[in-house]
Amino acid sequence: MFGFLNLNKPAGYTSHDCINELRKRLRLKRIGHGGTLDPMATGVLPIALGSATRLLPYLCNRKVYIGTVRFGITTTTDDITGNICQERAADHLTLAAIQEHLPRFIGQIEQLPPAYSAIQVGGQRLYARARAGEVVSAPPRTVEIYAIEVLDWQAGSYPELSLRISCGSGTYIRALARDLGAALGVGGTLATLQRIESGGLRIEQSHSLEMISPEHLPLHPPQEVLAHLPWQELDEAQLQDWYQGRAVVCAGLPSAQKVVGVTFAGTAVGIALRGGDRLHPKVVLKN
């Protein structure tokens, strides 16, 4: 079992719950995921099997979400699963007013992670400290949001806005909902969230947890999932050097790309760092 699985995470499961379930179903210990999803969220969760887990740090960091912001409500978790902190009618809010504020959330922005998040502060997860009654926050972090598209608008006492958000790793859509509501002076929380793209995998090709078994295991090869990297095929002589940890000389390497995927006979054998016309082993896979 070697490659990537495009899992459609169900609501109510943590990402770690999915890993545990797959370990039982596939009778395989070496499984990892690329990018945590909150329990309430659904959608694409890239899963690596076997030695492909070593390739998880090289996944494309672009992610795409469809989320619904509910205005007039703030919660402890910045999503609808938390306890309500403040509630006020926002029936005066208009889509035009919201659209005036959206550009400030596009590009590189400072974002304060939610109090209930997996970030560690003082050696403990924020959510663990929050559940213990502590008031602790992580320092703001710089994240990048590439685009925000309005999909739907539902007016009312607690109006809802559906958005398509393209962003980089580390972006909290819950924090975006909270901050957009604050900018409008009415508060906001995340009502729904689906990740439709992550790590080069799309929702259209995803598979439910119930579908996965040793007999039905639709794996994607690393070259497909890490298609944002250039890939170099080795010959047999180069392969021996590769497995011995020695740099291999290759012609026709991309001039600007420093990280290169390496294959032999069409199978991924690792990740290299380029130096001139040489590929220096960074991750060596022996499947």
208 has pLDDT over 90: yes
For 160-186, the pLDDT digits (tens) are 999 999 999 999 999 999 999 999 999
Q: What is the pLDDT of residue 275?
A: 87
Q: What is the pLDDT of residue 116?
A: 63
Q: If pLDDT is split at 50, 70 and 90, which confidence band does 136 have?
A: low
126 has pLDDT over 80: no
For 27-84, the pLDDT digits (tens) are 999 999 998 899 999 999 999 999 999 999 999 999 999 999 999 999 999 999 999 9
Q: Say if residues 17 and 4 touch (Cβ distance below 8 Å).
A: no
Rounded CA-CA distance 16/50 in Å is: 16
b (16+ CB within 10 A) / e for 242-255: bbeeebbebeebee
pTM above 0.85, yes or no: yes
Q: Say if residues 45 and 18 touch (Cβ distance below 8 Å).
A: yes
The CA-atom distances, in angstroms, between 266 and each of 130, 134, 220, 270 are 48, 52, 13, 12
Q: Is 241 a catalytic residue?
A: no
Query: Of these residues, 38, 78, 79, 179, which one is catalytic?
Result: 38
Q: What is the pLDDT of residue 252?
A: 77
H or E element at residue 106:
none
Q: What is the pLDDT of residue 127?
A: 60
